[in-house]
Chain A
């Protein structure tokens, strides 16, 4: 498995969290924004088309009112209904009336009044009629419906009534009521009015407005020519079917929304076209902004994660490097980690632990040294020359007195004593053997000091307990020299051995002078303070503790004048 550093884990985790957050947030805001945008566009487009319809209704309504005024004018009525030859005065009257109207309303291009039989009067006498117009041709508004009633409104058309003049107009025709067959009045509205009105409307970047009449013909379209030449198409039939409301469609390669409103007055359908991709373009802009902000956050997060992980991992790396050194055995490293967090504390703890280990190792070295030195001391004490000289003096003295058997006994005991002490090189011997050694010593001393008496009272079960060589002999020696010899009269040394649960206690008691409490307190404490060639209680105590552990060792009990008891506590151990 690949090792993942804390740093990369942290950076990945942070980046993942922030990326997911930004993505989810971005997606939601985008969807909501798009929806809001589309709703808003549809709302405003709906307002726009109904507004436009009202304006157009106004224009057409005005044309219709105007047409009705003209149509119902008594002179016009009389002219249209009158005989074919007519009254020239009335004709002039009518012409004057017609001429006045476009001067008041410049958006009215012309009025054309035709009476049965084809005589035509126009509002502009300066214009000649188109000579090529066939007199009996069916006028445009009769082409589809030969018997219309009421007002007819054209789509955008070119007025070809005049010679040398082709004007784009919207025409409204009143005509052919039953009373006046063949008579009609046409009002031409300058198409520029509608064109100007619609051309100004821009929906989004390339959205637009177009108008169709109830027959599906284009009244206005900004790309009329493209529509006619088939380069552009609109869903005219569907729009007419909808009449009012929204229609989403795909035209060409673009999705768009038609907002449709039909005027009942003109029969025209105003259509606003908004391209979805343009609407969504601003949403895409938002998306880009969200993405940018997200990336910014991601960069910052990554940077922070990098910094934080560095703060965490740098001390860990330093710690690890130090521990590597420790692994190779160098306990003198100083873990120099500067971090005021948990890792810093850990590093300090490690530092302390390493220090402890270092101290322990040092201690263990010192202990080994001490052990060796004490063993040496023990051996030195074994061949304590005073003891040997004294014993040899005693033997000489016995021989001189002629006490041969006593001298022999003493000499053989001395030999046994030394054999026990010097041989058996191992440190640990059984309590039984150590007792033999003690007994040898005591019996030699008893021969020298007749006042001495001793008792050995050791339970059979503890004879196998492992003890350190020459452990008891110094205690007995102490009891003899510092307890009994300091006192007048006879003395007794008692050695007892018993087992108490998981320990073995061996006591060496004397009924000598005893020790004062003050002195007692100092005896076990400072082995270094002892005289070099003398085995102190402290030395013994330390030997036991070093060998068997701190739970074991010596304890002293004494009262002045009544004697001293030294208790050796040992582990039961396995028998030697």
Chain B
């Protein structure tokens, strides 16, 4: 008789359909750091919001400092041992996290990178800012502020950094031949160096028309030097990444515009991506969360206020938006 196996099969199907709350996918989220840093706090808030919306469990594991690469590698290894449904990782090192991500992949655990990816193709999805696109946007922002043919300086941060190269490449692409580009300077991601380099640049180039600083310390250093020189009227400064000081620079008019990344969306989308991949749905391999250009006029627009002053820092008046 074939009836009995059919019935048993149906019963199993019914059991499979029955609600199973405890089988919520478990996603381990490993940021670059868990220190009270507003960028990562906002990424985490986005991740937790997505966890609610996607009905997944998100466990946060992280080192205290961004520089604790070994600690992060160990955290990923431990996570692989636990066999979660997926891992969301903000790699603190482009190269050194590769083996452990490959290990996760070999164990069948999908890995999604957020903000900072790794050197290989082993992450199933990358969520973050397309730095080349960010460079292009910065170039377009500058072009609106300067005359054609103006002399323009670029203040990058680390020559070997892939993000710095991408941002610079996009910027040069956007500026094209319409400006006279000066030799790129490197601040080493150090605000003091950026300040010193900008001062020298301002002294050497009396007819400087524009300057683009490609990360937050560089932006802050350049902003301070330009404010001291009093030449903010003739030199258009465009920065990247917002912090409390950067916002003040925009408010004071020294910074003409600043490009702000979207940490909340990064966190949200990375967990959404992980949840979708766990559930067998498709997700684009690379997703650009984009960067928003902020000027003094748009600083207090509702859509930007939320970006610049996240709710997580709602009641702390001296919050610092810093990467």
One of B1-9, B147-155, B195-203 at the interface: B1-9
Cβ–Cβ contact B3 & A225, under 8 A: no
Interface status of A525 (Cβ within 8 A of chain B): no
Q: Once bound together, how far apart are the Cα atoms of A218 and B305, in whole Å?
A: 12
Q: Chain B residues near A288: list those with CB within 8 A.
A: 14, 17-19
Bound-state CA distance A132–B308 (Å) is 17
B252 to A: closest C-beta gap in Å: 5
Q: Which of B269, B299, B300, B306 contacts A224 (CB 8 A)?
A: B306
- Are A157 and B305 in contact, CB atoms less than 8 angstroms apart? yes
Residues 1-58 of B at the A interface (beta carbon under 8 Å):
1, 3-4, 7, 10-11, 14-15, 17-19, 46, 49, 52-53, 55
- A246 CB to nearest chain B CB (Å): 23
Are B300 and A158 touching (Cβ within 8 A)?
yes
Are the C-beta atoms of A285 and B18 separated by less than 8 Å?
Answer: yes
> Which of B1, B248, B309 meets A132, CB within 8 Å?
B248
For B305, the closest partner residue in chain A by CB is A158
Q: Is A500 an interface residue (CB 8 A)?
A: no
0/1 interface trace, chain A 155-177, chain B, CB 8 Å (1 if under): 11110100011111000000000
Alpha-carbon separation in the docked complex, A8 to B3 (Å): 10
Supposing A228-B306, A299-B7, A302-B4 touch, asked if A192 and B315 sit within 8 A by C-beta, the answer is yes
| Complex contact B268–A226 (CB within 8 A) | yes
Write out the residue numbers on chain A whose beta carbons fall within 8 Å of the beta carbon of B318: 164-165
Q: State which of B14, B52, B251, B311 has its C-beta within 8 Å of the C-beta of A291.
A: B14
Is the Cβ of B314 less than 8 Å from the Cβ of A191?
yes
* A325 CA / B314 CA spacing, docked (Å): 96
Across the interface, do B1 and A165 meet the contact criterion of CB distance under 8 Å?
Answer: no
Interface flags for A199-229 (1: CB within 8 Å of B; 0: not) read: 0000001100000000001100011111011
Q: Counting CB contacts under 8 A, is A75 at the interface?
A: no
Cα A155 to Cα B300 with chains together (Å): 12
Q: Mark A49-65, 1 if CB is under 8 A from B, else 0.
A: 00000000000000000
Q: In the complex, which residue of chain B has the Cβ closest to the Cβ of A157?
A: B305
Contacts A158-B300, A167-B317 hold; do A292 and B15 have CB atoms under 8 A apart? yes
Taking the closest CB of chain B, its distance from the CB of A558, in whole angstroms, is: 76
Asked if A389 is at the interface of the complex by the 8 Å CB criterion, the answer is no
Please determine whether B314 and A225 come into contact, CB atoms closer than 8 angstroms.
no
B251 near A132 with CB under 8 A, answer yes
Interchain CA distance A299-B11 in the complex, whole Å: 10
Nearest-CB residue, chain A, relative to B310: A225
Q: Name B's A-contacting residues (CB within 8 A).
A: 1, 3-4, 7, 10-11, 14-15, 17-19, 46, 49, 52-53, 55, 247-248, 251-253, 262, 264-265, 268-269, 290, 299-300, 302-311, 314-315, 317-319
Sorted nearest first, the 3 A-B pairs with minimum C-beta distance are A228-B303, A132-B251, A288-B18
- 6 residue pairs bridging A and B, Cβ less than 8 Å apart: A132-B248, A166-B247, A167-B317, A190-B315, A285-B18, A298-B7
